[in-house]
Chain A
């Protein structure tokens, strides 16, 4: 069986996996490009504050930095977990439940 499996083995088409992973990470890194260096630190501190009220992890906080002509936009979104523990506090800003 092992020998037959070996003969049948086809190389995995992993290029499509690479392509999708790159699409996502490149888009994400472009969105924070040119943003202030304090952004990751601020994100961690915000997480600590939010954690006092709601149980969320780092991935639930999304920070977007955009630079238009003349002004800069800092967009912060927090994805709250479903269920009861989410009802402990009210998160301000652009929050959605998902």
Chain B
């Protein structure tokens, strides 16, 4: 059996790639899928913090690629979900530590271990790390903020996904592209201060797979090292759950994209 490989990418930094990788991987595990999430950001390891396993990293991705540790030794088992594993990035400063052959070996190894999904958390930019993260992907989740530089960069990334991936080079059919709009603020959209879901969809020419509202729960979750999807009471958590369901083929309407209607008391007293 071959694992489905999903790259989480964006071009621009700070738009929520690692937050998204952590929540998608956790959501897939919650849905019963054996899932691994890999941090491709060599030199700037961070997924471990968001997943809350930073003190349990012994071996990392580069150790496996260089044969200094086995895949089994390097995979960190999640505390909450038995079928969820993390492979941390190396803190080495050597940018050439990862190779295409090395990455392929690790991904093949994960398939052999019976993993159904592998999430590749891409570094920002379009350099080697980002290229390697997307190269073997079957699906791509392009994380975009409703903001000009992020939208432009994601269009660059969509172009690269269509040309610089194994699927594109070998003519194996395109990488499935999913657009995920994060840090969405419906109130600012309503008064014309922020690009809307429709604007972003029209500019980039693809539909969104999910919209994650700007939420204070995201910071709380990262402070605690618990992916926000685990916080089922939060809107961001619920929006990520919807996104995972859609990736798995379920149809769900978008939530949290409109300004909530104020109740009578709120209208009278404000707030």
On A, residues with C-beta under 8 Å from B are 11-16, 18-19, 21-23, 25-26, 29-30, 33-34
Contacts and interface: CB of A to CB of B under 8 A. Distances in A.
Nearest to B147: A18
Q: Give the one of A15, A16, A23 with max B CB within 10 A.
A: A15
A16 B192 contact: yes
Contact of A22 (B148, B159, B189, B196): B148
23 contacts: A11-B192, A13-B191, A13-B193, A15-B193, A16-B192, A18-B147, A18-B148, A18-B199, A19-B195, A22-B148, A22-B151, A22-B152, A22-B195, A23-B203, A25-B152, A26-B151, A26-B152, A26-B203, A26-B204, A29-B152, A29-B155, A30-B155, A30-B159
What's the interface size class on B, roughly?
Answer: 10 to 19
A22 B203 contact: yes
A12 B191 CA distance: 8
B83 interface: no
Contact of B199 (A11, A19, A25, A33): A19
B194 interface: yes
Interface string B112-124: 0000000000000
A12 B155 CA distance: 26
Contacts of B159: 30, 33-34
A13 B191 CA distance: 7
Nearest to A10: B191
Contact of B193 (A11, A21, A30): A11
The 7 nearest A-B residue pairs measured at CB? A13-B192, A22-B203, A19-B199, A33-B159, A15-B192, A26-B155, A18-B148
A18 B192 contact: no
A41 to B, nearest CB: 20
B222 interface: no
A19 to B, nearest CB: 5
Contact of A15 (B163, B195, B204): B195
B148 A14 contact: no
Interface in B172-205: 189, 191-196, 199, 203-204
Contacts of B148: 18, 21-22
B155 A14 contact: no
B156 interface: yes
Nearest to A29: B155
Contacts of A30: 155, 159
Nearest to A14: B193
Contact of B194 (A15, A21, A25, A26): A15
Given A29-B155, A33-B159, A18 B195 contact: yes
